[in-house]
């Protein structure tokens, strides 16, 4: 059980750090992020709402307010990291490793969290 708790808290902390890094870049490095979104074919009007959604998702996971809300937050992070991985892979920019790590963090945090935080 101790390994499960360590895996949960470590993966959740790493997921949080990755998402905070992403949100920071969305707000304070807008021009670079805008270039990435345009290169991948995504509309740039998604940048700020996506940053806010990431912050709210982290709040839902850390706050542990309701199981339903936490499930939706994990689902959002799962689809966000999965789509980010394939977007980076398809344009061939070589930076899909961050999204792959995020996907691993989401999965570990989700499945170990079911055992640690009922």
Q: Which alpha helices (H) appear in 41-66, and where do they start and end?
A: 47-63
Structure confidence at residue 108 (pLDDT)? 97
Give the model's pLDDT for residue 12: 97
User: pTM for this structure?
Assistant: 0.91
Helix-helix angle 47-63:67-91, to 10 degrees: 140
Q: What is the pLDDT of residue 55?
A: 97
Residues of the domain holding 24: 2-116
Identify the pLDDT of residue 91: 86
pLDDT for the residue numbered 93: 82
Could you give the number of structural domains in the chain? 1
Q: What is the CA radius of gyration of the chain?
A: 15
pLDDT at 96: 86
The CA distance from 114 to 112, in Å, is 5
Residue 66 per-residue DSSP state: -
Looking at residue 85, its pLDDT comes to: 94
Per-residue pLDDT of the chain (118 residues; tens, 9 = 90+): 799 999 999 999 999 999 999 999 999 999 999 998 998 889 999 999 999 999 999 999 999 899 999 999 999 999 999 999 999 898 888 788 999 999 999 999 999 999 998 7
């Amino acid at each position: 059980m101790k390994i499960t708790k360590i895996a949960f808290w470590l993966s959740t902390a790493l997921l949080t750090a990755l998402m905070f890094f992403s949100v920071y870049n969305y707000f304070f490095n807008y021009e670079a992020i805008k270039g990435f979104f345009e290169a991948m074919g995504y509309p740039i009007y998604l940048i700020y709402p996506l940053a806010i959604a990431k912050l709210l998702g982290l709040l839902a996971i850390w706050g542990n307010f309701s199981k339903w809300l936490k499930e939706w937050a994990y689902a959002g992070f799962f689809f966000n990291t999965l789509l980010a991985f394939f977007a980076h892979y398809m344009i061939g920019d070589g930076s899909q490793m961050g999204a792959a790590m995020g996907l691993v963090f989401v999965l570990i945090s989700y499945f170990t969290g079911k055992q640690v935080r009922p």
